[in-house]
Amino acid sequence: MIGIVLCLALLVGCGQGTPRPTSAPTRPRPTPLPTATPLPPLPTLPPFGSQANPLVFMLVNPNAAAATTKADALAKTFATDLNMVVQVKVTQSYGEARAALCGGAATVVTASAFAYLSAVEQGCGDGLFTAEVGGATSTQGEMLAGLGRSIFTLKGFAGYRFCRPDALSVNGWFVPTLALKANQVDPLGDLDQVIDSGSDAGVVKDIIALKCDVGAARLGAETGIAGAKSVLVIEKLPPVPNDTLMVSSRLDSAARAPTEDEIRKHQSDLAGIMGVDNLVVANDTDFDALRQLFKDANIDVLSMGN
* Per-residue model confidence as pLDDT tens digits over 146-188: 999 999 999 999 999 999 999 999 999 999 999 999 999 999 9
Domains 55-137+241-304 and 141-237 share a fold: yes
User: Using 50, 70 and 90 to split pLDDT, how confident is the model at 48?
Assistant: confident
Kindly report, residue by residue over 194-207, the tens digit of the pLDDT.
999 999 999 999 99
Q: Is the pLDDT of residue 250 over 70?
A: yes
CA distance readout (Å), 103 to 95, 96, 183: 12, 10, 35
How far apart are the two ends of the chain, measured CA to CA in Å? 115
Cα–Cα distance, 215 to 167 (Å, whole number):
13
Please check the confidence at residue 1 and state whether its pLDDT lies above 70: no
Dihedral angle of Cα 292, 297, 303, 305, to the nearest 10 degrees: -40
Least confident of 29-33, 75-79, 241-245: 29-33
Separation CA 88–CA 74 (nearest Å): 7
Classify residue 274 as exposed, middle or buried by CB count within 10 Å of its CB (0-12, 13-18, 19+): buried
pLDDT value at residue 302: 79
| Residue 29: pLDDT over 70 | no
| pLDDT tens per residue, range 143-155 | 999 999 999 999 9
Residue type, 158: A
Q: Is the pLDDT of residue 89 over 90?
A: yes
Stretch 94-117: mean pLDDT, rounded? 96
The superfamily (CATH) of domain 141-237 is Periplasmic binding protein-like II (3.40.190.10)
55-137+241-304: what CATH class? alpha beta
Domains in the chain: boundaries: 55-137+241-304, 141-237
**Model pTM?**
0.81
- Which contiguous run of DSSP H or E holds residue 266? none
Return the sign of the alpha-carbon dihedral for residues 142, 143, 146, 149. negative
Mean pLDDT of the chain: 89
User: Looking at residues 45-59, what average pLDDT do you find?
Assistant: 89
CA–CA gap between residue 259 and residue 105 (Å, rounded): 16
Q: Half-sphere exposure (CA, 13 Å, Cβ side) for 137? A: 14
* Per-residue pLDDT at 21 exceeds 60: no
Query: What phi and psi, each to the nearest 5 degrees, are found at residue 259?
Result: -65, -45
Lowest-confidence segment of 13-17, 51-55, 99-103, 174-178 by average pLDDT? 13-17
CB-CB neighbours of 257 under 10 Å = 11
3-class secondary-structure state, position 247: strand
Query: What span, in angstroms and rounded, lies between the C-alpha atoms of 207 and 213?
Result: 6
pLDDT tier at 47, thresholds 50, 70, 90: confident
Distance of CA 48 to the CA centre of its chain: 24
**pLDDT at residue 7 in the model:** 47
Query: What is the pLDDT, as a whole number, of residue 6?
Result: 45
Number of other CB atoms surrounding residue 234 within 10 Å: 19
> What distance in Å separates the CA atoms of residue 240 and residue 287, rounded to the nearest whole number?
7
Question: Of residues 145 and 53, which shows the higher confidence score?
Answer: 145
Concatenating the DSSP letter of every residue in 269-286 gives HHHHHHT-SEEEE--GGG
Question: Is residue 266 scored above 70 in pLDDT?
Answer: yes
Position 19 pLDDT exceeds 60 = no
